[in-house]
Chains A and B, each alone.
Chain A
C-alpha cells in the first residue's frame, strides 16, 4: 500500500517538465466533453479562471481531499520536551483556502485521507461531497472514470510547456493539473552530521561518496537512512538508475535487454550498487518502525542522509530537535556514478476535479488559484511553472540550482508515460517482480549484513530474474518501440 502511495507521490512530483494555458473548468457536465478540442483554433471547451462567473459562486462550499495532511494540519514537530505536535504555521493549504475564501467567498472544506482507497467509494458513486482530490496512483482508465477532464494536453502545454506531457493524461485530456515542478530523488542530508567526519557538502564522485559513507559508519553514524522495512523506498532506485545511465529511460529501457538485472545494464548496475552499499553497512543498522522515525534519524543526526525527493526536506527540517538548525537539512545532487551528475525534474503536486462534483466551476477556480500562488507552491517545496507566474524557488533547491547553473549537474526530465514504460511494467508484473518493488527487493535482500556477503547467491538471483523477465516479455509479445 505504501508503495502505491509513494509511487503516487512520485508520479505527482515526477512527471516531467514545462508551462500552462486555458486550463480552466468547463463547469458543466464533463462527460459531454467528448474527445475533441478546438484549442487549435484558440477556442477552448474549458473555462479559464477569468471566464468563470465568480459572483454566482459566492457562498458555496467545496471539499478537497488530500493525502498531504501536513499542509492541512501543520508540520509534525517536536517541542522542547521532545513531544510531538503539529505546527499550524506550516498548514499552507489551510491558509491558502482561507485566503481564497476571503477573496471569492467560497469555503474550501479540507479533508485528509491516508490513501486513495479512502475516497474511492465516494468517487465510485460520484458522491457530490467530494470536489477536488490529490494524487491517486491510478491507471488512465480510472482517471477517465473518476476525474473530470481538466483541459486538453495542448492547452496545458501552452501554459506548462513539456511538463504537461507527463501530467495524468490520455493523450487528449489532462485529468489532474500539476501546477508546479520539482527535483526528484537526490541526496537529502544533515550538514551538521557530515561535518563530524570532515565534509561540508556531498562529494561529487562515487568513490568520494563511498569514502564519506565509510567514515560515517566508522564514527557510529548511519550513513544512509532507507527504511527498508517497507518496500516503497526501494522504488527510488529507478531515478538513481537514470543517474547511472545518464538518461531518463533506464526503467522502460529494461525492455531492450535480455539481461536487465545484470551489472551491464543501468537498472542491474544500480541495484548492485545499492546492495553493495548495504553489504558495507551504509544503510541503517536498526529497523525503523515507521518512515517518520527514519526522517527523525536524519533530523537528530543519528543518520546522515536519505536518498529521496525534495518532499522529505521540509518534513525532516521540522524534525530537527530544539536547539538545532533546520537549515542544516539540505538537498544536493547525487554523485557522479560514471556518466556525470544528474538530477531528475518533473511536474509536481496534483489536483483533480471529481466527476461527481456539483461545483466544478468553484473547484476549477480554486485549482487555478493554487496554480498562480507561487508562494504556496514554494512553501510546499515546489516551483510554480504556470506561464505568467513568477516562480519562487525554495531555498532547498539552491545547491542543485547552483550546480545546474554551473553546468556540473544536468537536468533529466522525467520520462513521460508511454507504451514502453507501460509494457515494461506489465512484463515485470507478469514475471511476478512488480508488486512491492520485488525486482529490487529480491536482489537487495539476498545479502544478509550479519553474515559474509554471498555474491554467488546474488548472481543466481540475477539470472533467475533475467530469465523470468525475458519469458514474461515473450509471453506478452512486447519489445522496445
Chain B
C-alpha cells in the first residue's frame, strides 16, 4: 500500500470517526436520561450514566400516560393513507410530465417548483380557516389531506426513475391494446418501485417527525406521536427523563422501517443521482 493510499485511508477514518461522534454524542445523554429515575436525573450530570440500566419505568410510564400506543396507531393510519395518496398522485404527475408533451407543460413544472419557496406557515392561517369551514379540525382527515399533496422533490425522484424505464415498454403495451391508465397502473407504476420506496421513506420520516401540522390541526383527542410527546412538556417544568424514554420509543418504528427498506432507499437515491 502506497503512502498516499495510507494517508487517504487515515484521513477517511478520522473524518468518519468525527462524523460519527457528531451524530452519536447528542444521543448519549438521551439514552442515559431514559434509564435514570427522576431524582437521579435532577441530581446528576446529563453525561453521567444511569445507576440501573434495567430501569424501564420511564418507558412504561411514557407508554401508559402519554397514550403512545394510541398515538402510534393514529400516526400509522395517517401516514399510510397520506403516503399512499401522495406516492400514487406523484407517480401519475411524473408519468404525464415525462411521457407526454402538451401545452403549458413547462408552466406546470414551474408552478410545482414555485411551491417549494412558499413557507408552510405562511399559508396556514388561510388553510386552517378552510379546514375549519369544512369541519375537519380535530379529525385526522385534515392532516391526511395536507400530507397528501404532490411535491416537486417527489416529482423529480419519479422523473429520474422514469428516465430509466424505456418508452418502448409503453409502446409495446399500447400495441397490445393497453390504454394509458392500464399501461401506467399495470406496467410502469410497478417498475417505479424503487422511486416509490425512496419517497415513502424520505417523506414518511419527515411526516412522522412533523409537529407543526398535527399540533395545529389535532389538538385534542386524535394525536400523532409528536403531539403526544409534546403533551409531556409543562408550562414551567418537564420530566425530561420520561420525554427521553418516549423519544427512544418513537425512534424504534423508524429504525425498523429503515433497516428493512434501506436497500430500496439506496437504490432509489442512486437512481435519482444517476439521472
On whether the two chains bind one another, the answer is yes
Complexed CA–CA distance, A324 and B21 (Å): 42
Complexed CA–CA distance, A68 and B239 (Å): 15
Chain A residue numbers with a CB within 8 Å of B61 are: 83-85
Chain A residue numbers with a CB within 8 Å of B114 are: none
Is there a chain A Cβ closer than 8 Å to B38's Cβ?
yes
Contact of A86 among B58, B65, B241 (CB under 8 A): B65
**Nearest A-chain residue to B38, judged by Cβ:** A84
Is there a chain A Cβ closer than 8 Å to B37's Cβ?
yes
Chain B: residues with Cβ within 8 Å of the partner, total of 35
Q: How many A-B residue pairs have CB under 8 A?
A: 95
Contact of A289 among B39, B219, B240 (CB under 8 A): B240
Interface of A is mostly: mixed
Q: Is the CB of B240 within 8 A of A69?
A: no
Is there a chain A Cβ closer than 8 Å to B224's Cβ?
no
Chain A residue numbers with a CB within 8 Å of B238 are: 290, 292
**Nearest A-chain residue to B239, judged by Cβ:** A84
Is there a chain A Cβ closer than 8 Å to B234's Cβ?
yes
Given A76-B239, A78-B39, A84-B38, check contact A114 B234 (CB 8 Å).
yes
Is there a chain A Cβ closer than 8 Å to B128's Cβ?
yes
Given A78-B37, A84-B242, check contact A293 B57 (CB 8 Å).
no
**Nearest B-chain residue to A288, judged by Cβ:** B42
Chain B residue numbers with a CB within 8 Å of A5 are: 235-236
Chain B residue numbers with a CB within 8 Å of A84 are: 37-38, 58, 61, 239, 241-242
Is there a chain A Cβ closer than 8 Å to B215's Cβ?
yes
Is there a chain A Cβ closer than 8 Å to B220's Cβ?
yes
Contact with B along A112-128 (1 / 0, CB 8 A): 11110011011011010
Q: Nearest Cβ distance between residue A316 and chain B, in whole angstroms?
A: 11
Choose among B42, B43, B137, B233 the residue with the greatest number of A CB atoms under 10 Å from its CB.
B42
Contact with A along B53-97 (1 / 0, CB 8 A): 001011001000100000000000000000000000000000000
**Nearest B-chain residue to A1, judged by Cβ:** B235
Q: Is the CB of A114 within 8 A of B230?
A: yes
Is there a chain A Cβ closer than 8 Å to B20's Cβ?
no
Is there a chain A Cβ closer than 8 Å to B129's Cβ?
yes
Comparing A149-157, A296-304, A447-455, the segment that makes contact with chain B is A296-304
Chain B residue numbers with a CB within 8 Å of A289 are: 46, 240
Q: Is the CB of B132 within 8 A of A125?
A: yes
Choose among B57, B235, B242 the residue with the greatest number of A CB atoms under 10 Å from its CB.
B235
Chain B residue numbers with a CB within 8 Å of A115 are: 235
Choose among A67, A118, A290, A321 the residue with the greatest number of B CB atoms under 10 Å from its CB.
A290
Given A125-B129, A125-B132, A127-B132, check contact A83 B57 (CB 8 Å).
yes
**Nearest B-chain residue to A286, judged by Cβ:** B45
Which residues between 216 and 264 of chain B lie within 8 Å of chain A, taking CB atoms? 216, 219-220, 230-231, 233-242
Is there a chain A Cβ closer than 8 Å to B138's Cβ?
yes
Chain B residue numbers with a CB within 8 Å of A302 are: 43
Complexed CA–CA distance, A112 and B228 (Å): 12
Complexed CA–CA distance, A112 and B57 (Å): 24
Contact of B231 among A68, A78, A112, A293 (CB under 8 A): A112
Q: Nearest Cβ distance between residue A297 and chain B, in whole angstroms?
A: 7
Q: Nearest Cβ distance between residue A57 and chain B, in whole angstroms?
A: 22
**Nearest B-chain residue to A125, judged by Cβ:** B132
Chain B residue numbers with a CB within 8 Å of A114 are: 230, 233-235
Q: Is the CB of B219 within 8 A of A122?
A: yes
Interface residues of A, Cβ cutoff 8 Å to B: 2, 5-6, 9, 67-70, 76, 78, 81-86, 111-115, 118-119, 121-122, 124-125, 127, 129, 289-293, 295-297, 300, 302, 315, 321
Those 6 A-B pairs whose CB atoms lie nearest each other, nearest first: A292-B237, A82-B39, A84-B38, A82-B37, A296-B42, A67-B235
Interface residues of B, Cβ cutoff 8 Å to A: 37-43, 46, 55, 57-58, 61, 65, 125, 128-129, 132, 137-138, 215-216, 219-220, 230-231, 233-242
What are 8 pairs between A and B in contact, CB < 8 Å? Answer: A76-B237, A78-B38, A81-B37, A84-B37, A122-B137, A127-B137, A292-B239, A321-B39
Could you list 18 further interchain pairs (A-B, Cβ under 8 angstroms) beyond the known A5-B235, A124-B128, A289-B240? Answer: A67-B235, A69-B235, A82-B40, A83-B37, A83-B55, A83-B58, A84-B239, A84-B241, A113-B219, A122-B219, A125-B137, A289-B46, A290-B240, A291-B236, A292-B42, A292-B239, A293-B41, A293-B42
